[in-house]
Structure 1
Amino acid sequence: MAERHAKLADGLRLILLLTGTRTGRTLNELAEEMGVGRRTVERMLAAIKEVCGGLEQVPTDEAQKRWRLPASTLSRVKPLTAAEAAEMDLAARRLAAEGLEERAALLRNAAEKLRAAMDARALQRAEPDVEAMLAAEGLAMRPGPRVHVPERLIATLREAILANRRIRLAYRPSRGALREHVVEPYGLLYGTRPYLLAARVDKPDAAVWRLDRVLSAEPMNEAFSPRPGFTLPALAAQSFGVWREAPHQVVLRFTGSAAVEARHWAFHPTQRFETQPDGALVLRFEAGGLDEMAYHFATWGEAVEVLEPPALRERLAALGAALVRRHGAP
């Protein structure tokens, strides 16, 4: 999912969370429900306060402050522009095209609620422009098949994540027989495939579970306390893509002709770029997931060279050799 679409969906969801509560929500509660860090919630609240106004602190005896938006606040929000309305519709279409129909439905519902809060005359003026913009902007479809995951499975997992409830997974790995596992779910990761990030009760670390290999997910009447440091942003940042393994110090060198393009990529949250005297660009980051790194950096061809670690060089070389054996001249 495009980053801007994710931010848009998160902002709308936060507004609905704040308006749908009488007792208010703490920063920690919002961060947990949104699956983001506390600082991210603070920035989003500041933006909502600037646009909507009316952000209220609910009186409470608790140490943490609780926040809410009065329902009447939405009536004072500036009307949606045609560009904003079209962007929400495009974001929902993009989510649906990626096979994430449930998330698309959530965004469509949020957009409809915001439209409902608009003045009828403003909405009437905006709708023709929205239709024109949608006709002029399309989606570049990702080629190839998309993994189908039942919407009910994602809904069940989301409910368990928000409630801190253990779930019993019937899971079939790529190799081996179907097995059941009791896991503590921490979040959902969306990439080329959707994954569950969860920790088995008998293991110290979290792992990723492909949702298309989950045959069933049964919520259990067992609550769990999140393990220290087990937040979705923290766990996801330890890996390249979704694969989790011991982190490596990764150093790559892009040629001068590829340096400009490479600098525009967000390869990893810990990345650092170093421009070289000859115009080349060195990229450094720390992460696990060598297989996924090899698959991605192979697409850069001769424009990138792996300097560290040796294991990544070996995997890229093995991948190239396998492609030559399969597709090389007889």
Structure 2
Amino acid sequence: MADDLRYEKLDVLMRLALRMQASADGITLTDIAEESGKGHRTAQRMKEALIRAFPQIEETIDPDTRRVRLKLPHGTLGRLSAIRAEEISALHRAAEVLRREGDAETADMLATLSDRVVGAVDRPLRARLDPDIEALMEADGVALRPGPHESLDPAIMAQLRKAILHGCWIIVSHRTRGGQLTWNTRLGPLGMLLGQGRQYLVAFSDYADAVRLFALSGFEKVEITGDAFTQPDGFSLQSYAHNSFGVWQEPPEDIVWHFSAKVSRDAATYRFHPTATHEPQPDGSLIVRFRAGGLQEMVWHLARWGGEVQVLAPKRLRDMLHDLGRRLTEERVAAGTNKYVSK
């Protein structure tokens, strides 16, 4: 166990060193604490260990925050930063997942990045990497996993990314999931959110004077204007995403779920929401609490657990889940009475 802990600390220190070398601005004590998952004192000790291990570390003071930043000159780590088969395999997996979700353009970018990284290493290392990468990909099986996904227009996606990158207003034609088409709508793009098989653009609607979600598959035209767009004061894409269980936005509510002892171990492996807390119960069951909106998407997820989960709060979510169960039961009964045998 002691050896495992030492290896874990070494692994964290190496990741921090790589981040220092890769970052143009360097890393702070807060970054070290987040990477290690420890408190301020442990982060301070790790900082001192890094400086002892790498005397080349440069310490600067951020003029805006007055925080100390640590940087490693490029090339300091040398062969210590050589790529591993697992890292190239991770790029391949990410590309396949994005391709399955319909984002072929980003998948192609990751595949190209993977080729460039592998092409930059010397031939002996490349010869050792190839068999390992192939074995890891076969074991992972990402490309073989079935599942529904949306097909997104690469040209539309490229325009949206360009507009987000350059901070420009766009003029779009967009069709809602209900089929309604709107023309020449002026939007200020803020970012993209991935859902369960659905992908959305988060944008400020000039017409609604508010931030709204737009299904990426619904865009039929995107024209980038020459007008600069500035995101609303105080807006945070991360905070916006955290308001919801999935991507649908509605006022957050206090959510409490109770998983039976039969599935509690499995449920404990899920990160249901960034604010979720897990409370193991004496009988082996598990209570999960968090605060978010998006009750409809919660219902869809909870249905997967069958009768092994109870909604303790809010009542509206409990009623929605019961209603879904009732409708599914009625459909099964109707299908049973209307079935026929073909001759």
Alpha-carbon distance in 2 for matches of 1:100, 1:169? 19
Which of 166, 188, 193 is residue 189 of structure 1 equivalent to? 193
Which of 100, 104, 107 is residue 107 of structure 2 equivalent to? 104
Please state whether the residue corresponding to 1:278 is helix, strand or coil.
coil
Pair 1:327 & 2:300 matched = no
Q: What is the deviation of 1:322? A: 1.9
Which of 113, 134, 141 is residue 137 of structure 2 equivalent to? 134
Alpha-carbon distance in 1 for matches of 2:229, 2:64? 23
- Specify the alignment match of 2:204 in structure 1: 199
Please state whether the residue corresponding to 2:257 is helix, strand or coil.
strand
Pair 1:160 & 2:163 matched = yes
Residue type of the alignment partner of 1:90:
R
Instruction: Name the CA shift for 1:136/1:172 in 2 (closer, same or farther; >3 Å).
Output: closer
Pair 1:261 & 2:266 matched = yes
When Rg is computed on C-alpha atoms for both structures, the one with the higher figure is 2
- Specify the alignment match of 1:151 in structure 2: 154
Alpha-carbon distance in 2 for matches of 1:213, 1:53? 54
**C-alpha contact (below 8 Å) 2:97/2:143 kept by paired residues:** no
TM-score normalised according to structure 2 size: 0.73
Aligned residues: 298
Q: Per-residue CA shift, 1:271-320, capped at 9, x if unaligned?
A: 11222232221111111111111111111111111111111112112212
**C-alpha contact (below 8 Å) 2:96/2:143 kept by paired residues:** no
Q: What is the deviation of 1:75? A: 6.6
Which of 265, 271, 277 is residue 276 of structure 2 equivalent to? 271
Q: What is the deviation of 1:251? A: 1.1
Alpha-carbon distance in 2 for matches of 1:190, 1:124? 36
User: Any residues of structure 2 matched to 1:83-94 within 5 Å, and which?
Assistant: 83-94=86-97
User: Any residues of structure 2 matched to 1:223-302 within 5 Å, and which?
Assistant: 223-302=228-307
Residue type of the alignment partner of 1:286:
R
Instruction: Name the CA shift for 1:242/1:41 in 2 (closer, same or farther; >3 Å).
Output: farther
Alpha-carbon distance in 2 for matches of 1:147, 1:222? 31
Please state whether the residue corresponding to 1:282 is helix, strand or coil.
strand
TM-score normalised according to structure 1 size: 0.76
Instruction: Name the CA shift for 1:53/1:313 in 2 (closer, same or farther; >3 Å).
Output: farther
Instruction: Name the CA shift for 1:132/1:275 in 2 (closer, same or farther; >3 Å).
Output: closer
Question: Which is worse superposed, 198-207 or 256-265?
Answer: 198-207
Alpha-carbon distance in 2 for matches of 1:152, 1:68? 38
Q: Per-residue CA shift, 1:75-130, capped at 9, x if unaligned?
A: 75632233333333233233323322222222222222222331222222322333
Q: Which has the higher relative contact order, 1 or 2, with Cα contacts under 8 A spaced 6 or more apart?
A: 1
**C-alpha contact (below 8 Å) 1:189/1:196 kept by paired residues:** yes
Which of 117, 133, 156 is residue 120 of structure 2 equivalent to? 117
Please state whether the residue corresponding to 2:262 is helix, strand or coil.
helix
Which of 179, 183, 200 is residue 182 of structure 2 equivalent to? 179
Question: Which is worse superposed, 142-151 or 294-303?
Answer: 142-151
Please state whether the residue corresponding to 1:184 is helix, strand or coil.
strand
Q: Per-residue CA shift, 1:164-206, capped at 9, x if unaligned?
A: 2121221112336311322221111123121111121244542
Alpha-carbon distance in 2 for matches of 1:165, 1:157? 10
Identity of aligned residues (%): 34
Q: What is the deviation of 1:323? A: 1.4
Alpha-carbon distance in 1 for matches of 2:189, 2:56? 35
